[in-house]
Amino acid sequence: MLVKVLIADDHKMMRDGLRLIIDKQRNMEVVGEAEDGQDTVRQVRKLSPDIVVMDVAMPKLNGIEATRQIVASRKNTKVLPLSAHADRRYITEMLRAGASGYLLKHSASEELIEAIQTIIRGKTYLSPEIAETVVDEYRRAVTAETPSAFSQLTEREREVLQLLAEGQSRKEIASSLSLSVKTIGTHVEHIMEKLDIHSLPKLTKYAIREGLTGLD
């Protein structure tokens, strides 16, 4: 079986490196590349890949939100998150979003093919060094979760918050999401009310802390 792979990462050098590894495999083919979350979702709908190698921290739509949308609309497409960060929140939120594992970027050259093969077999792949983090998180899990952006805000509000934190104006966000500036303003008001955060710098810090946008 030929495994169709879509590579999603905002750094061309990283995409080129991943493509080089995958192209060496006779049973794998890179069918497309994407450099932001919104384009990733569009290409998944267009190309129907078997697996998406997805950077967690991407512009316009982060990997967590992109994964949610892909998993919800394409049951046969699996997502392999790829990240430079072994942060607990990134890992757990990606898994909650429906990802089929978690791979650290510095291990990609050694683990990428094994990870893809594992996921295609219907199993979950975790880089060995973060497996303990995942186990610890489930041990710590309690019925009442600590509120997060993913439980307090709607999908659209999270999209708006990410773009706002990435420096886009309300007009730019409206254009990007095909909404009116007034509607974006309403979303921003709701975000501030729900989070009880009423300044852009604090919203930006919150978005970074919650994994809605990148650390770098």
DSSP 33-87: EESSHHHHHHHHHHH--SEEEEESS-SSS-HHHHHHHHHHH-TT-EEEEEES---
Tokens of 66: 């992109």
pLDDT digit string (tens) for 29-72? 999 999 999 999 999 999 999 999 999 888 999 999 999 999 99
| pTM exceeds 0.75 for this model | no
Residues 6+ apart with CB under 8 A from 184: 160, 170, 173, 174, 177
Q: Who contacts 200 (Cβ-Cβ below 8 Å, separation ≥6)?
A: 164
* CATH number for the domain whose boundaries are 3-140: 3.40.50.2300
Per-residue pLDDT tens digits for 115-167:
999 999 999 998 887 776 666 665 565 444 556 666 788 989 999 999 999 99
How does residue 208 score in pLDDT terms, banded at 50, 70 and 90? confident
**Domain at 149-209: CATH code:** 1.10.10.10
Strand partners, 30: 5
Instruction: Tell me 116's DSSP state.
Output: H
Distance, in Å, from the CA atom of 153 to the CA atom of 150, rounded to the nearest integer, reads 6
Q: Indicate the domain borders of the chain.
A: 3-140, 149-209
